[in-house]
Structure 1
């Protein structure tokens, strides 16, 4: 499990660096996005990955890795929005946004470590295409929960689904050698 933790951290370091650089370029403009908008951004990324996995050629010169990074970062943004709420104007500087990013990522990684212990690293035997399908399934669940005004009867909430999407995307990137 130590290898998994190290591989996970390496993937997250790449995602975190991009998050910080985009914060420097654009500020916290994403803070105005409502959860369904973030969910739709993740959906676009997951659909593109699925397309790349099934199409013979792609016309945009960006591969699966950049899309998985997008899924991870948009999911972390959604978790921050769940905690802090949506605002009308960007309200976070780079340092504060990075601190929130790190907090959400630490919680998400701990969930992965706990599940990974219980499931015996079963993800290592999975295909990247299956991880993509699981992300799409989680997205459909999130959309349904959003349509139900955030309420569930017996199921996990939005936060658990976003966390699972982060972890599936990290697993996919580890499989791809990122």
Structure 2
């Protein structure tokens, strides 16, 4: 909400492919840091996972907004939309966590990044197919999974003391 206050809703000009690419850039940077075990700019991995969450929520909001919706949205409206999407992601995470028994706790941070990248490749294919899928989930489900993978990674980072 602070960035919305600073910049307004400049993100409204982003098309789905651009949002997907922004998430890709962040996930790829995390992967590069993981592989090289060194980074040259200050933004840490935690900040990148937070960015992945925020861009995913932006993607979800964009999917719901009508094409003719105004580009400039009031901060209060953005806050409502954002919080609504986060609640949906949280509810999904809790349901999956129940069914999978916190299996994510045994996963590596590298796996979360790989899963995020895989979801992004799937999303690109869905966009290439003009949003049509035969049996697969849509863009919204992929954004929600990406949010959950990033949250799991952040939890593990904080528990390790790497945040």
The number of aligned residues is 159
> Aligned-pair RMSD on alpha carbons?
1.2
TM-score w.r.t. length of structure 2? 0.94
**Which moved further from structure 2: 85-94 or 24-33?**
85-94
Cα displacement string for residues 84-127 of structure 1 (whole angstroms, at most 9, x for unaligned residues): 14458622111110100001111111111111111111001101
Q: Aligned pair 1:96/2:96, yes or no?
A: no
Q: Secondary structure at the match of 1:116?
A: helix
Q: How does 1:1-178 map to 2 (within 5 A)?
A: 20-86=1-67, 90-177=71-158, 178=163
Query: Which whole-Å CA distance do the structure 1 matches of 2:62 and 2:37 have between them?
Result: 37
Q: Is the 8 A contact 1:24 1:94 kept in 2?
A: yes
Q: Secondary structure at the match of 1:39?
A: helix
**TM superposition outliers: structure 1 runs of 4+ over 3 Å:** 85-89
**Which moved further from structure 2: 70-79 or 81-90?**
81-90
Structure 2 portions without partners, runs of 5+: none
Structure 1 portions without partners, runs of 5+: 1-19
Partner of 1:11: none
